[in-house]
Structure 1
Amino acid sequence: MQPLVSIIIPTYNSKKYLKETVNSALNQTYKLIEIIVIDDGSTDGTETMFTNFEKQGIACYRVKNGGASSARNYGLSKANGDYIQFLDADDILHESKIEKQLQLMQLHDADICYSPWIDFKVSINDYQDEFKFSRLDHGTMRTGKELMSSFGMDNWFINTLSWLVKRDIVDKAGLWDVDIINNNDGEYFSRVLFYAIRVVCCNEHLAYYRRTPNSLGKLNSVLKIEASFNSYQKIETLLCSCNDVKLMSYPKRMYYMQYKRIKKNYPNLAKRAAKNFDRIKAPSFLSKKKYYWIFINRFGLYNGTKLYTFLQPIWGLLKRN
């Protein structure tokens, strides 16, 4: 008997994108799916699309605005699937995503499958960037904790829409944290990976991520910075229970990435991120940058970066002479 896959689509004021997103779910080559759309209190007339959606068999709900995480939790409460696909209202699935990932998961008895994706702004045919993993990754089995260690040591990540997850792993991970408005997906999928024993990669571009000017992922306010910082602390606390030094490279990387992204506009908060990077005594992908790593270890991330940056032009001048 084939398993049911639930595709959960939270939406807030994304009416202009929603039809294309829903169609990418409807047009899946794997047909045993249910599509759940949750309108998170939109003010752009999103609910006017529901009559047509419901005629196509889509379950539509309108809830009081509570944020994307709250809408996803509501979607989970309505989902009957054996597998879960989270899909934001402006992103797009390749037509064979569910079929190819599900086949690979069943072949390897995997808990989770991920795939590379393509970044775009207007059309998927006019893409900005593509994320491709090593061909060695295709079908390779890892635990969720091994994957998180790789995030820290190899400096990469996986987008939310790339995952297909077994429902029992979703249930173990619990609900999305409604108090986190930035990196809520990173915090949530850290819990998912924490419980995943078998994770497999389907190394084909099977998803399209739309980059919009108002992306929540941008750290352009104190509120977003604080929310992401709190998410890193939650992830760190979760992983500390494993007593695995290499695993701690994952939250260490996140503190570094926040430092790097906000050091110009929010120097005091950048210093806090840098101190937390220094505090975690774990390996880092930055060790591959030999001289930079020496400065960081000697002076700390914040001061070491400033000194290293200051000296770089001098070294370049000496080399030329």
Structure 2
Amino acid sequence: MENDQPLISICMPAYNAGAYILQSIRSIQQQSYQNWELIVVNDGSRDYTAQELQTISDPRVQVFHQQNQGQCAAANKAFSMSKGTLIKFMDADDLLSDDFLKSQVEVMDNFTDTIGYAQWGRFYKNDLNTFKLSTGPVTGNMRPSDWLISSMQSAEVMLQCALWLIPRTIINKAGLWNEELSLINDFEFFIRVLLQAKELRYADKAILYYRSGLQNSLSSTTTLKGAKSAYLSTELGTGHLLNFSDRQEVRQLSANCFQRFVYTFYPDYPELVKKAEHKVAELGGSTIPFPAGGYTRVLANLLGWQVTKKIKKLLKRK
């Protein structure tokens, strides 16, 4: 790709990513689109992430080390060091298909107010043979509000950071990552960012390989700090959407987001659960059932989902 193509800055926070970060960087180096820079911020990793990064000699890869401040602070640091017209935030354990960047750049109408997005699928731990492409409910070019509303209809919306290629102008308008947040921080950030665009452009040849099943990943954190972050991110993210459109459909989707919070964090954090339940009622009620399969569904049907969650918690302790 010629150098007159826009520079893409890939911003990669890294924390205890030593087992996977070189694979992620390699997937960037193998891109058919070569006008990129990668800014890695090692956020106080306690494993061998720093040693792995020392093996990188590519001049397009910049590495910064800082004391642990959280993923959002590391992402903001990476952005502050970037120079690109287009920005991609990327986790340090995910992988991109070889034509990912090229495909996204080609579908974007301009590099000021359209955002490119991609296909994605999960693979588990370090086995790409487990990869399965997601058949998400929404593809194609559309307005951001329509995409968000459609994506939130049947399941929790997928806002994984590497899916998006974002003009710097949009991030400058929307603002950076909220450093108060840790768990589901992408929910608040990307709703806020996407609503600043005129259109989302779908690149069907760009595929994100999303690594799942890591025991200590950020998305698996259920501490009090994580629960508080999840609640605040849900409150802020749905608030952005409701400020954009307060119609009944959006209110119900927002209520469903708070109901998912209730299902996830009951009975561990009763005060936060009570606040979320109040939000559900305030927004007109939720339409989503308790997510369960197998014997859990049977128990929930017989005893109710609250009792079922308490029983499962007791069994897990034993």
Deviation string 1:115-158 (CA, Å, 9 cap, x unpaired) is 22121223352225431235xx55x3222222222233333422
The structure-2 alpha-carbon separation of the partners of 1:169 and 1:285, relative to structure 1 and needing over 3 Å to count, comes to farther
Higher helix share: 1
In the alignment, what sits opposite 1:149? 149
Gaps of 5+ in 1: 293-307, 313-321
* Distance (whole Å) between structure 1 residues aligned to residue 301 and residue 110 of structure 2: 49
1:157 counterpart SS class: coil
* Distance (whole Å) between structure 2 residues aligned to residue 29 and residue 133 of structure 1: 26
In the alignment, what sits opposite 1:247? 250
The structure-2 alpha-carbon separation of the partners of 1:166 and 1:65, relative to structure 1 and needing over 3 Å to count, comes to same
1:28-177 pair list within 5 angstroms: 28-106=31-109, 111-127=114-130, 129-133=132-136, 138=139, 140-158=140-158, 159-177=160-178
> In the alignment, is the contact (CA less than 8 A) between 1:149 and 1:249 conserved in 2?
no
Counting aligned pairs with the same residue, the percent is 25
Deviation string 1:104-123 (CA, Å, 9 cap, x unpaired) is 11389861122221212233
2:64 counterpart SS class: strand
Aligned CA-pair RMSD: 2.8
The structure-2 alpha-carbon separation of the partners of 1:285 and 1:32, relative to structure 1 and needing over 3 Å to count, comes to farther
* Distance (whole Å) between structure 2 residues aligned to residue 152 and residue 209 of structure 1: 19
**Structure number, greater radius of gyration:** 1
In the alignment, what sits opposite 1:257? 260
The structure-2 alpha-carbon separation of the partners of 1:277 and 1:204, relative to structure 1 and needing over 3 Å to count, comes to farther
Higher strand share: 2
1:125 counterpart SS class: strand
* Distance (whole Å) between structure 2 residues aligned to residue 101 and residue 249 of structure 1: 32
- The number of residue pairs the alignment matches comes to 290
The structure-2 alpha-carbon separation of the partners of 1:106 and 1:123, relative to structure 1 and needing over 3 Å to count, comes to farther
> In the alignment, is the contact (CA less than 8 A) between 2:18 and 2:48 conserved in 1?
yes
The structure-2 alpha-carbon separation of the partners of 1:61 and 1:258, relative to structure 1 and needing over 3 Å to count, comes to same
> In the alignment, is the contact (CA less than 8 A) between 2:231 and 2:272 conserved in 1?
no
> In the alignment, is the contact (CA less than 8 A) between 2:99 and 2:205 conserved in 1?
no
Which amino acid counterpart does residue 53 of structure 1 have in structure 2?
Answer: I
Which amino acid counterpart does residue 177 of structure 1 have in structure 2?
Answer: N
> In the alignment, is the contact (CA less than 8 A) between 1:83 and 1:164 conserved in 2?
yes
1:270 partnered with 2:273: yes
Give the structure-1-normalised TM-score: 0.80
1:13 counterpart SS class: coil
Deviation string 1:297-320 (CA, Å, 9 cap, x unpaired) is xxxxxxxxxxx94599xxxxxxxx
In the alignment, what sits opposite 2:21? 18
The structure-2 alpha-carbon separation of the partners of 1:10 and 1:276, relative to structure 1 and needing over 3 Å to count, comes to same
1:154-233 pair list within 5 angstroms: 154-158=154-158, 159-204=160-205, 206-211=207-212, 212-218=214-220, 220-233=222-235
Gaps of 5+ in 2: 291-299, 305-318
* Distance (whole Å) between structure 2 residues aligned to residue 121 and residue 226 of structure 1: 28
The structure-2 alpha-carbon separation of the partners of 1:275 and 1:310, relative to structure 1 and needing over 3 Å to count, comes to farther
* Distance (whole Å) between structure 1 residues aligned to residue 182 and residue 25 of structure 2: 24
1:36 counterpart SS class: strand
Deviation string 1:242-294 (CA, Å, 9 cap, x unpaired) is 34223334432321211222335555643432331221138x664xx8xx9xx
Which amino acid counterpart does residue 5 of structure 2 have in structure 1?
Answer: Q
Displacement of 1:219: 5.3
The structure-2 alpha-carbon separation of the partners of 1:124 and 1:94, relative to structure 1 and needing over 3 Å to count, comes to farther
